[in-house]
Structure 1
Amino acid sequence: MTENLSWVPEACTLPTAEQPFRVAEFDQLFAEYLRSTDRVDAQTAVLTLDPAARATADDLIARESECCSFFTFTLTGALQLRITVPPAHTAVLDALTARLPR
């Protein structure tokens, strides 16, 4: 994979070689299960996922939280995934939400 991931901050501890694969996992989650999106503000996005995504989303956000501590993921029972970042990392949320299917 040769995708430009220059938007991934140095705060991410996932090895560089593994980053494209993680991005691909998010892309797959979004492609298969995303129902709607709401960019609440510069630091917050709320994604509504199909309930069948529960196990996949739980696993992915647990692993992502380990390497990118600046993300806060909250997954509610209705399968809304709230993603928040501190002000210094809004560009990362911008890049992630830019990958959402339109």
Structure 2
Amino acid sequence: MAEKSWRDVPVACTLDGPALGERTAQWQRVTARATDRRDTADGVVLAFPGTPELAAEVAALAAAEKDCCAFFDFTLHLTPAALELTVRAPGTAAALLADLFGVPV
């Protein structure tokens, strides 16, 4: 059976109040370390220094986020000098995208 596209998954988060607040804080701490950001039609691209520790932290956080918010789509691109995180979401998730990644609504 083929996996549903992130575009076809309902926009819903399975985290409750305290867990959602902690996850939001985790993303805010990570995104504050971005050295560049580009808004896209359906999300954002964040650039970070390309350290293995930061790459591992971002990857683990993206995987945890995907477990509770299947509508997000994450792509990590790691080069020797930089890490790029691309985050995409359906238009109906614009408020959540803004809360977690600072994307203008």
TM-score bin (small chain): 0.7 to 0.9
2:98 maps to amino acid? D
Which one has a bigger Cα radius of gyration?
2
Q: Give the TM-score, by structure 2 length.
A: 0.74
Q: Which runs of 5+ in 2 are unaligned?
A: 1-10
The offset of 1:71, in angstroms, is: 0.3
Secondary structure of 2:87 counterpart: strand
Per-residue CA distance 1:61-85 (angstroms, 9 max, x = gap): 0100000001001001231100000
Tell me the residue number matched to 1:36: 36
2: distance between equivalents of 1:47 and 1:38?
7
CA–CA separation in structure 2 for the residues paired with 1:66 and 1:39? 24
Q: How many residues align?
A: 88
State the TM-score, normalized to the length of structure 1: 0.76
Q: Secondary structure at the match of 1:80?
A: strand
Q: Distance in 2 between matches of 1:34 and 1:75?
A: 13
Amino acid at match of 1:30: T
Deviation of 1:92 (Å): 1.8
Question: After the TM superposition, which parts of structure 1 deviate over 6 Å for at least 4 consecutive aligned residues?
Answer: none
Rounded Cα–Cα distance in structure 2 between residues aligned with 1:95 and 1:88? 13
Q: Which ranges of structure 1 fall in alignment gaps of 5 or more residues?
A: 1-9
Which secondary structure does the structure 2 equivalent of 1:13 belong to? coil
Report the identity percentage.
30
